[in-house]
Amino acid sequence: MTVSPVAEPVGSLDRSGSTPLYIQLANVLRERIERGEWKPDQKIPSENELNRMYGISRMTARQVLAQLVNEELLFRVQGKGTFVAHRKIGTRSPAYMGIREQLERMGYETTTKVLSSEVIPADVRVAEHLRISPGSLVYRLSRVRLVEDEPISLHTSFVPKALAQDLDADDLVNRQLCVVLENEHGLRMSRVNESLESTLPSADEAKLLRIRRTTPLLLLRQEISDPTGQEFEYSRILFRGDKIRLEFQYEL
C-alpha cells in the first residue's frame, strides 16, 4: 500500500450554497479518485487531515469516508488508515455470456490457463449435480482466468465423458468451454440453475489467485442442461471479490 504525504486541498466547498458540506466533500474526493489523482492502494488523508484541509468537522469527514467505503471506492485497514480501492469489473453471470467474451467486449485483455484436464470417477456430490450414477466417468477441467496478467477467477467444470468424447483434446485456452461444448459436441445450453455465495479461499486457491487467505471470494455454482433436460455441465467458479462484481438483470 502506498502512503502519501498529506495533500493540499483540491476543490473548494461552497459554505453559502444549499448543498450539504458532506455531499460537496464526497464529490471532491470521488473526483480525485476517478481522475486517477489517487491511485489504488494509496492512503488518503485521515479524518483529522480532512478537517484541517477543508475546515469541516471530524464527524462530517467520518460520514464522507464511510459513504465512499460503502461505494467501494475506499477501504479501511484497522490501525493503518483509509486507502483507495481497486475498481471492480462488473460482469453478468456466465449463463448470459461467457466471462471471457464479456471482458473482451469491455476492452480487457484476457488470458486463460488450463491447470488440469483429466477423466475421473464422479463422486456423490458431482454425480448428484449432473444426475448421473456415482462412479460414472467425467472430465474435470480446471482453469484460471487472468485480466491483464492478473488472475480474477478459478473455474472447475465437470462434464460427463459419455456426452463429450475427447473433450480433453479440445482447445480450452483460446476458446470458451461453452462454445466448445456446443460447436464440437452438440451440447447447447438451454437451462441453467445457479447459486451464489461468499467464501474464503483455500491455501491452494489463494496461491493461484495471488491473494491472501482473508480475501473474500464469490462462489458461483452452475448446473447446465440442454433442450432435452440432459444435464451436461456442473461448474464451480470462484471470483475474486475485490476485482469482480456480478450483476443480475430481470424482466418481470
- Residue 163: is its pLDDT beyond 50? yes
The CATH homologous superfamily to which domain 89-247 belongs is Chorismate lyase-like (3.40.1410.10)
Are 16 and 63 in contact by the 8 Å Cβ rule? The answer is no
Q: How far apart are CA 15 and CA 252, in angstroms?
A: 45
Strand partners, 76: 82
Q: What is the pLDDT of residue 157?
A: 96
- Residue 4: is its pLDDT beyond 50? no
- Residue 136: is its pLDDT beyond 90? yes
59 exposure class (CB count in 10 Å sphere: 0-12, 13-18, 19+): exposed
pLDDT bin (cut points 50, 70, 90) of residue 188 is very high
Q: What is the pLDDT of residue 92?
A: 59
Q: What is the pLDDT of residue 249?
A: 64
Q: What is the pLDDT of residue 5?
A: 44
Residues near 166 by beta carbon (within 8 Å), at least 6 away in sequence: none
For domain 21-84, the CATH architecture is Orthogonal Bundle (1.10)
Handedness of CA 132, 135, 136, 137 (dihedral sign): positive
Q: Select the more confidently predicted residue: 87 or 220.
A: 220
Q: How far apart are CA 152 and CA 242, in angstroms?
A: 9
504525504: which residue's cell? 5
Q: Select the more confidently predicted residue: 159 or 99.
A: 159
From the list 75, 38, 242, 72, the residue with the least C-alpha distance to 150 is: 242
Segment 48-77 mean pLDDT: 87
Give pTM, 2 decimals.
0.69
Lowest mean pLDDT among 61-65, 121-125, 140-144: 61-65
Segment 12-20 mean pLDDT: 79
Domains 21-84 and 89-247 share a fold: no
Q: Select the more confidently predicted residue: 153 or 35.
A: 153
pLDDT bin (cut points 50, 70, 90) of residue 1 is low
Segment 9-23 mean pLDDT: 75
Q: What is the pLDDT of residue 137?
A: 97
Cβ-count burial 113-137 (b if 16+ within 10 Å, e if not):
eeeebeeeebeeebbebbebeeeee
Q: For the chain, which residues make up each domain, given as ranges?
A: 21-84, 89-247
Tell me the average pLDDT of the chain.
86
Q: How far apart are CA 194 and CA 220, in angstroms?
A: 7
